[in-house]
Chain A
């Protein structure tokens, strides 16, 4: 019978290995499967896996209350990170979601001043609200330490000095009261619960979005080298073995033009996928590269003096051997 898979370029080469069949060659599989299972469980037991505890709104707000004040203020003024993607996430306005809704829900427990502040803010025009929040954000900048040295080069966002927040003066309207009330909720853990309650079908989404408004998460990531432009794609926090197999997308992101943009990154990856799919296997010249390089010599099994197959073991018949010989 003629081999059905013979292709024009599959000419016989001087180092072609014998192709006669070897029977019953699966006996190593259970050993490999068992050995690998044991190895993986051992690695899981001894080495473990990345498991840095997640940030919480309460923890971050207690550790850096000035950053929380800044986040709440930027959510009111419309300059927080969450405003950029609010529509695509199907969430409402960050000012409502993170500040006004929670504070309104708890206003009765937070005192008359907070209730009054909510009413004042609700009754104000959008322009007035913007002016109050903008002025307060600007004032917070005056009590924010300047970054220097490595922190400045990394782009670290410093938090306002919380001990000086009370000393700020200006036409801030009810904004300081609102953000202080929200900070009280955040530090007690009530804000996180409120956000889960606002959107129970999207567990943890709102809380995580708020945590990214706070400077702490991104600052930590930049300090530790975990952002994408710091090869963060192939790193894990607190663990030495990261997703090394993402090195090619990481190179696109860090090294290639426009790779740092979403569209550019996607296009570079699509180009790489196209090369894998079409160019490597189909392009004349390139598709024959493996034959020219001869690396297959390290892959095929060749008979040796001690090989049972060479001595005839495993052969089904001389006729089959001839048929299958390349």
Chain B
């Protein structure tokens, strides 16, 4: 639920006691995260009435899934393929990473539907629509390199099959070979996540600057 930036004076006071007085202690405690670093700068403190809907949470939850993917991904990269393929804890972390990716795309699609259905791509917001689309496309590529980096049978087969179809085409300038596990792993763990994070940061910043689109 990111908020309308049309009216700068809409920003309410951040005092905890004010919030307790307005909505009660439980709700005030739960939303404290939105008033503390690093999230404090990310969230405005009010939203238009029409946007106080779960549909408007989908982008934020997609970003949350990206954070979960990062956390589980760092654990997996730290302890390595032998751990995630053979250790029972490693397998659960790997599976959580897998389901986080499923959830990432699930909520991304819902976010996309919401943005389209509310026409929130018009005017200056087209730039943010474009950034979001690029994030989605890179995310699909990240999924491919994730499969390649997994280290199981599917990784072996897809690496050779996609290699034969895509990466020997002159179109790609023969930059990488998916049959190379080291390359797949580096792209999946370092290169693409950094690019995605930068784009998501720009995406969220633009939402913060432009605010929520007005109703159709």
Contacts and interface: CB of A to CB of B under 8 A. Distances in A.
Interface of A: 1, 3-7, 9-10, 13, 16-33, 36-37, 40-41, 43-45, 47-55, 81, 84-85, 88-90, 201-205, 208-209, 211-212, 217, 221, 226-228, 232, 236-237, 241, 243-246, 249, 260-263, 265-266, 273, 276-277, 280-282, 287-288, 290-291, 293, 295-296, 298-303, 309, 314, 316, 320, 323-324, 326
Interface of B: 1, 3-4, 6-7, 9-10, 12, 19, 22-23, 26-28, 30-31, 33-34, 43, 45-53, 55-57, 60-61, 64-65, 68, 85, 91-100, 102-103, 105, 109, 114, 116-119, 121-124, 126, 129-130, 133-134, 137, 140, 143, 147, 150-157, 159-161, 163-169, 171-172, 174, 177, 179-183, 210-211, 213-216
A287 B123 CA distance: 11
Contacts of B30: 26-31
B181 A204 contact: yes
Given A19-B48, A300-B215, A326-B215, A43 B117 contact: no
A325 to B, nearest CB: 10
A85 B168 contact: yes
Contacts of A226: 157
Main secondary structure of the interface of B (DSSP, over half): helix
Contact of B64 (A16, A36, A266, A298): A36
Contacts of A300: 50-51, 53, 118, 215
B96 A41 contact: yes
Contacts, number: 304
Contact of B152 (A50, A228, A273, A298): A50
A277 B7 contact: no
B179 A208 contact: yes
A41 B171 CA distance: 40
A266 B166 contact: yes
A280 B100 CA distance: 29
Contacts of B172: 266
A49 B99 contact: yes
Given A21-B46, A221-B161, A281-B129, A241 B154 contact: no
B31 A314 contact: no
Contact of A243 (B96, B143, B160, B164): B143
Contacts of B46: 21-25, 316
Question: Interface centre among B99, B159, B169, B211, by most A CB within 10 Å?
Answer: B99
Contacts of A52: 152-154
B166 A265 contact: yes
Contact of B156 (A9, A20, A217, A316): A217
B43 A26 contact: yes
Nearest to B26: A27
A13 B90 CA distance: 54
B95 A49 contact: yes
Given A49-B98, A300-B51, 16 more contacts: A5-B214, A10-B214, A17-B215, A19-B49, A32-B57, A33-B64, A45-B95, A52-B152, A81-B164, A204-B181, A299-B56, A299-B114, A300-B53, A314-B49, A316-B46, A324-B48
